A = this chain, B = another copy of it.
């Protein structure tokens, strides 16, 4: 049985609304396909434009095992490239952030312009055609300062996402932010379990005392579990936000993205231990600190929170079937002064604790699905976003298989 046949069988017997079979979480052959079917085809958050404000500034990130460079070019646009020299493949930019007038490979000093063109390669034969050896370009989209990149030759449509989501994000002006803190953590769990963990708050009451001080466990304004307090709060805040021109109702993102503004509880103004602001300098041009937060997710691997005072970006990247890198960034207003406007400990305490708790949960989830008797289990009602995620994922994987089979058949008919 080939890896594709194996995956096809698993996809065909999958029951929507139930967790995935164990092989989805543990098989290297499935991760190998996911890298091609999901990670090399989707829009992935690479960072914020505010991280590379000047011409020559660059940042690097990973999509699966593929290094990405995003660079601020001389004409002010951002461009993205694969971080692999066209000579013998060395990584070119070694740091997560930096500044360079040219991109010079540290191995043999092949030198590229910021637009990816190969400018210089020593000791090459006469007939060497430099034009054939530009850096491999990567698709890039900028949405209110958030940089999305996509490795596909034919990337999926981005415009619907932008149209729906940008109005929620733009007032927070992420392009005028700076990264105040950043963490990279490796969790011993499959990347999908890390995403699934993030897509439901069914576990919040039992695990996240810090987070649930400000955040409601439920994800929709009309959740039947809402208490009197929330039922009174929601329409009042909605009216305030309408007045401020801040959209708040859930966007129609289908299975691919989600965006909604919800109020905090406990009179909290921000996701901090006591609900007080994390940063006195508010984002953008805000004057009202009581904006709840915009919660935004997009497949395959990115979630975000935007409150009046800070932005939280999180992305996951698979390292192996049982190891996942979680990168988290806390952004505040670019003019906010550390120690005066914000304190890093106060800013990061809730999500540091939440990440730590989630890592434990995901790891125990991962471990338990290795039991011989593990069977897929039914999602709870409040796990509706996991139903969406697994359905989206399964469709994406199935469509990849079909495409591969079709191209095989095509090749066969050409050659016969």
Interface of A toward B, CB cutoff 8 Å = 19, 22, 35-36, 40, 63-67, 82-92, 94, 106-109, 121-125, 128, 133, 136, 151, 196, 202-203, 206-207, 225, 361, 364-365, 367-375, 377-383
- Contact B106 A373, beta carbon cutoff 8 Å: no
- Contact A368 B89, beta carbon cutoff 8 Å: yes
Using CB atoms, name the residue of chain B closest to A19. Answer: B88
- Contact B375 A86, beta carbon cutoff 8 Å: yes
- Contact B107 A364, beta carbon cutoff 8 Å: yes
Contacts of A63 in B (CB 8 A): 372
- Contact B364 A90, beta carbon cutoff 8 Å: yes
- Contact A206 B90, beta carbon cutoff 8 Å: no
A275 to B78, CA, bound (A): 48
- Contact A106 B381, beta carbon cutoff 8 Å: no
A144 to B139, CA, bound (A): 59
A136 to B375, CA, bound (A): 10
Known: A66-B370, A372-B151. A377 touches B106 (CB 8 A): no
- Contact B203 A84, beta carbon cutoff 8 Å: no
| A379–chain B nearest beta-carbon distance, Å | 8
User: Which residue, A63, A85, A92, A382, has most C-beta atoms of chain B within 10 A?
Assistant: A85
Q: Which of B108, B364, B371 contacts A82 (CB 8 A)?
A: B371
Using CB atoms, name the residue of chain B closest to A151. Answer: B372
- Contact A381 B84, beta carbon cutoff 8 Å: no
- Contact A66 B19, beta carbon cutoff 8 Å: no
| A63–chain B nearest beta-carbon distance, Å | 8
A370 to B320, CA, bound (A): 14
| A390–chain B nearest beta-carbon distance, Å | 11
Known: A368-B90, A380-B124, A382-B123. A108 touches B374 (CB 8 A): no
- Contact B202 A89, beta carbon cutoff 8 Å: no
A368 to B19, CA, bound (A): 35
- Contact B90 A373, beta carbon cutoff 8 Å: no
Query: Which 9 A-B pairs give the minimum distances between C-beta atoms?
Result: A136-B373, A89-B369, A84-B371, A65-B370, A91-B368, A82-B373, A84-B368, A123-B380, A91-B364
| A17–chain B nearest beta-carbon distance, Å | 9
User: Which residue, A65, A133, A225, has most C-beta atoms of chain B within 10 A?
Assistant: A65
- Contact B67 A368, beta carbon cutoff 8 Å: yes
User: Which residue, A109, A365, A382, has most C-beta atoms of chain B within 10 A?
Assistant: A365
Contacts of A373 in B (CB 8 A): 66, 82, 84, 136, 151
A87 to B371, CA, bound (A): 13
- Contact B91 A381, beta carbon cutoff 8 Å: no
Using CB atoms, name the residue of chain B closest to A1. Answer: B2
- Contact B128 A378, beta carbon cutoff 8 Å: yes
A225 to B123, CA, bound (A): 9
